[in-house]
Amino acid sequence: KKYVVAILGATGAVGQRLISELEHSQIPVAKVKLLASKRSAGKKLTFNNQEVTVEEAQPDSFTGVDLVLSSAGGSVSKKLLPEAVKRGAVCVDNTSAFRMEEDVPLVIPGVNEQQLQYHHGIIANPNCSTIQMVAALYPVYQRWGIEQIIVSTYQAVSGAGQSAWNEMLQQAQAILNKQKPTANILPTAADVKHYPLAFNLLPQIDVFEDDGYTHEEWKMIHETKKILCNDQDSPKIKVTATCVRVPVEIGHGESVYFVVEDKGASVPEIQAEIAKTSGLILQDNPQQQLYPQPLTAAGKRETFVGRIRPDQENNGAFQMWVVADNLLKGAASNTVAIAECLVRDHLVQVPNNKA
Ligand code: A2P
């Protein structure tokens, strides 16, 4: 069977990579539909060297579509994906719109793809920072168990979308020209105040919750638990996070502190587990100054791990540094990998009783 695939948000930073990841995937594509806002209707993009005209996304755009890959923002997903499911399409959603809903699998292939069989038409791709952290910790979790995670993120601007990315480059240019940078987008479009990111750090990603955490931090905490502690038998993990936007174009960095259950773990054994896990690349050699960096991770599908070291004062606790391309591993590659699993396991259909 060949599949009709729609990419919702095809003109965006992630959308463009959804197109190229789909081109390189195992998915047999009969036809691709590229959907975006009204502003982009009529724009020409290419898929497999063929010109495709971008259409305005509307409920009827999904008639005859088998599979939707979506990254057009949470409100667009909320509005359009139920319409797509009604028309028989299975949707892999890169936004946070449905992630925590009980009947929506939240999936990282290689970690919990068995959850896909329970889908009701919508599958959620986790938050970019959650994906790379959980992917890197998963071999440790499987062998020794994990009691606690304390993470601080260093997140690239591209995660906030193409317009935030463009604005940061303009700010950098302005500052180099000794002009005052203007800021209208970050930390979040909905906020009253905006701050420049160029030559700066913003310890706010997404809106603030009542408890003082940002919603991005909330996502890392609760998505990690949903992915790793989904069934009642799995032990609970304590998770806390600080998320910071940094003036990097592509590639999120994460300082991850974790406490294992089985205190027998050692650094060489953790390194060995990570090195042999598909999708993870160990870059850990202080003598040679080898460690993951955003500039070297950008454009790659893998998650890079280094700086693994013990907390000398807390037995069973370790630190590591994790970097991945947030637009690929954190978004487009994971989304397309989910779609590949759905195709492989014959799950590209909305279950009758669930639509
Ligand atoms: P457009 O380019 O027409 O605005 P990014 O994450 O880089 O900001 O990209 C967001 C993506 O979501 C773009 O492809 C954008 O299309 C698309 N988008 C934004 N609003 C809508 C909407 N109301 N309906 C469909 N697509 C939308």
Residue among 3, 7, 123 nearest 68 (CA): 7
Q: Are residues 12 and 65 in the same domain?
A: yes
Kindly indicate whether the ipTM for this predicted assembly is greater than 0.85, answering yes or no: yes
Ligand 1 pocket member 164 (CB < 6 A): no
CB of 105 shorter than 6 A to ligand 1: no
What CATH number is associated with residue 226? 3.30.360.10
Distance 9 CA to ligand 1 centre (A): 5
Q: What is the mean pLDDT of the chain?
A: 97
Q: What is the pLDDT of residues 262-280, one digit of tens each?
A: 999 999 999 999 999 999 9
If asked whether residues 135 and 209 sit together in one domain, one would say yes
Instruction: Count other C-beta atoms under 10 Å from residue 190's C-beta.
Output: 7
Instruction: Say if residue 46 is in the same domain as residue 84.
Output: yes
Task: For residues 299 and 156, state if they share a domain.
Answer: yes
Q: What percent of the chain has pLDDT over 70?
A: 99
Does the Cβ of 159 fall within 6 Å of ligand 1?
no
Whether 250 and 316 map to the same domain: the answer is: yes
The parent domain of residue 298 ranges over 130-325
Same domain, 100 and 159: no
Residue nearest to atom 4 of ligand 1 (CA): 37
Q: Say how many domains are in the chain.
A: 2
Distance separating alpha carbons of residues 300 and 323, to the nearest angstrom: 11
CA 10 to ligand 1: nearest atom: 14
**136 and 82 co-located in one domain:** no
Whether residue 107 is found in the same domain as residue 191: no
Residues 172 and 313 in one domain: yes
Task: Measure the N-to-C terminal CA separation of the chain; round to a whole number of Å.
Answer: 22
Please tell me the predicted confidence (pLDDT) of residue 263: 96
145 and 64 part of one domain: no
Q: What is the pLDDT of residue 353?
A: 54
Residues 94 and 78 in one domain: yes
Beta bridge partners of 8: 35, 70
Please indicate, yes or no, whether residues 23 and 40 belong to a single structural domain of this protein.
Answer: yes
Find the CATH number of the domain harbouring 43: 3.40.50.720
pLDDT digits (tens, 9 = 90+) for 114-163: 999 999 999 999 999 999 999 999 999 999 999 999 999 999 999 999 99
Tell me, what DSSP letter sits at residue 49? T
